[in-house]
Structure 1
Amino acid sequence: MTTVLGQNQYGKAEVRLVRVVRDTPRHSIRDLNVSIALSGELEATHLTGSNAQVLPTDTAKNTVYAFARDRGVGEPEDFAIELAGHFVTSQPTIHRARVRVEEYLWDRIEVTGAAADAPAHSFVRSGTEVRTCEILFDGTAHQAVSGLKELTVLNSTGSEFHGFVEDRYTTLRPATDRILATRVDARWRHAWTGGDDRPDFAASYAAAQRHLLEAFATTHSLSLQQTLYAMGRSVIRNLPGVDEIRLSLPNKHHFLVDLEPFGLENPGEVFHAADRPYGLIEGTVLREGAAQLLPTD
């Protein structure tokens, strides 16, 4: 039986980096998790074990730290673009680089009162939300994907679910007023593919997050699918530099607790929050005429 080598890549995964900026007494930090995948002329290392064309993954790790010190970090997309460009242009055997970044957000602890003049160098983790990005570079064009994950939201009313298909195994009762809760995982693809008109990634991230949250809050939902589309549509309509957004919304079910055995009424006030199993709603919203490029898994 004859075999051939298919698509392959290698790199360093989950390089943890915390960059502290100490230019003034009011410090700032960027807390990143960086993963690098490289592909190109790498057949020999698979077929013969020769490493003559292999840049060690340890070198990739060191490059992350060196770039953070030498060039700073800035927005995670900008940092990833610099890293991807470096690997493709500095290594003749590397033709394509993918850099993924997760950023863990911190809020400054603001001190008031008598200690208000204390140095501003204390921080607290900002909820569970994680900012993400992925940069692909093949030496010619970039694909820039920004995103967020683990952004948990809840509407205590304004959600219904009824009129669904029922068969012999259906036990779910129709609901005209229910809690709707989900953990938003979203990725949006910028139309930019290179050149001097690089997006303002900080501004676009803030705007995308705002439009996702506003659409969730203002949509009277008849299904989580309807809410997903409304959230994606709001981002596409309001951010002309974004061509595609993919959303993954697990339905974090809240079930009304039966309190009748205790002689108590429960007028939609006490719920059991179940963590599994859960419905998982996923979908992509595109600008008309744009190609769907984000993977579906």
Structure 2
Amino acid sequence: MAITLGGNQYGKAEVRLVRVDRDGERHRVTDLNVSVALSGDLTGTHLTGDNSKVLPTDTQKNTVYAFARDGIGEVEEFGLRLGEHFVRSQPSIHRARVGFEQYSWDRIGDRPHSFSRNGSGTRTAVVTWSEDGVQVVSGLTGLTVMNTTDSEFWGYIKDGYTTLPETHDRILATAVDAKWRHHTHPADWAESFEQAKDDLLTAFAETHSLSLQQTLYAMGRRVLDKQPGIAEIRLALPNKHHFLVDLSPFGLDNPNEVFFAADRPYGLIEGTVRRDDLPEGDAVW
């Protein structure tokens, strides 16, 4: 029986990086979690422990900090700079994958250097730079949204284990996890991100939902309709269930007003909306 080494990568995960841009007294904060993964001609280190083609993960961490000294800008731009550096500077490295989580801080009033952490989701990006080309995936995660009506769920399969009652008026809530792959790079990464986020929120709010799957498709389609440079979008929507509380033991009615918010178990709806005329992406999302 033959045994061979399969696909592999290594890198420095979750490098915490905060940069303060100081424009006089008015500051701007960029708060990132950066993960680097490299792959290439690394068979020797796995089979014999030969490290002559290994760029240490500590060096990767230091590179992230050193590149930040020259400015970060948008995370996609920063990832392109880092990915190109790792591949072009190291003959043994054929692919670099740089992932980001960006945490938002809101300015407190109009104070120039005081901020509060924003809880409206985390911006994400994954840049893959390889000898075969470059792929950029932008996204966001943890964006919690709710419609208090205009959501139904009925007409589903019922068998001997079904207890869920049909409903024509329910709360629909989810925490959006979305990733979209760029076919062409936008002129302004920040503007593209804000447009996609706004389109996700608008589609969620405007869709009279008969299922969370229907809402997922409406959200993805709106993003693609508004930005021709986006090839596909992948969405994961956990159904954050809200169950009507039975108040009859207390002699009270409940006209769809008092709910129990359950954290688990939960339905998880996942799907991809893509353009048929473009090839599928092959990089790790």
TM (norm. structure 2) is 0.97
Aligned-pair CA distance for 1:24: 1.4
Cα distance in 2, alignment partners of residues 143 and 43 from structure 1: 25
Instruction: Tell me the residue number matched to 1:283.
Output: 271
Instruction: Tell me the residue number matched to 2:136.
Output: 144
SS at match of 2:13: strand
Cα distance in 1, alignment partners of residues 6 and 49 from structure 2: 16
SS at match of 2:205: helix
Instruction: Tell me the residue number matched to 1:94.
Output: 93
Q: How many matched pairs?
A: 285
Cα distance in 1, alignment partners of residues 116 and 154 from structure 2: 42
Q: Kindly provide the CA deviation profile for residues 114-165 of structure 1, in whole angstroms up to 9, marking residues without a partner as x.
A: xxxxx51010111141000001111351101000000000000000000000
Q: Is the 8 A contact 2:174 2:240 kept in 1?
A: yes
Cα distance in 1, alignment partners of residues 190 and 284 from structure 2: 26
Flag structure 1 segments of 5+ consecutive residues without an equivalent.
Answer: 112-118
Distance 1:168 1:259, change over 3 A: same
For residue 189 of structure 2, the aligned residue among 201, 217, 225 is 201
Instruction: Tell me the residue number matched to 2:7.
Output: 7
Instruction: Tell me the residue number matched to 2:103.
Output: 104
Cα distance in 2, alignment partners of residues 219 and 42 from structure 1: 50
Instruction: Tell me the residue number matched to 2:46.
Output: 46
SS at match of 1:10: coil
Q: Is the 8 A contact 2:125 2:136 kept in 1?
A: yes
Q: Give the letter aligned to residue 262 of structure 2.
A: A
Cα distance in 1, alignment partners of residues 132 and 54 from structure 2: 22
Q: Kindly provide the CA deviation profile for residues 3-61 of structure 1, in whole angstroms up to 9, marking residues without a partner as x.
A: 11111110000000000011310000100000000001101100100111101000000
Aligned-pair CA distance for 1:182: 0.3
Q: Give the letter aligned to residue 105 of structure 1.
A: S
Cα distance in 2, alignment partners of residues 294 and 235 from structure 1: 21
Q: How does 1:1-297 map to 2 (within 5 A)?
A: 1-69=1-69, 71-111=70-110, 120-192=112-184, 199-293=187-281
Q: What fraction of aligned residue pairs are identical, expressed as a percent?
A: 62
SS at match of 1:284: strand
Cα RMSD for the two superposed structures: 1.4
TM (norm. structure 1) is 0.93
Q: Is the 8 A contact 1:17 1:33 kept in 2?
A: yes
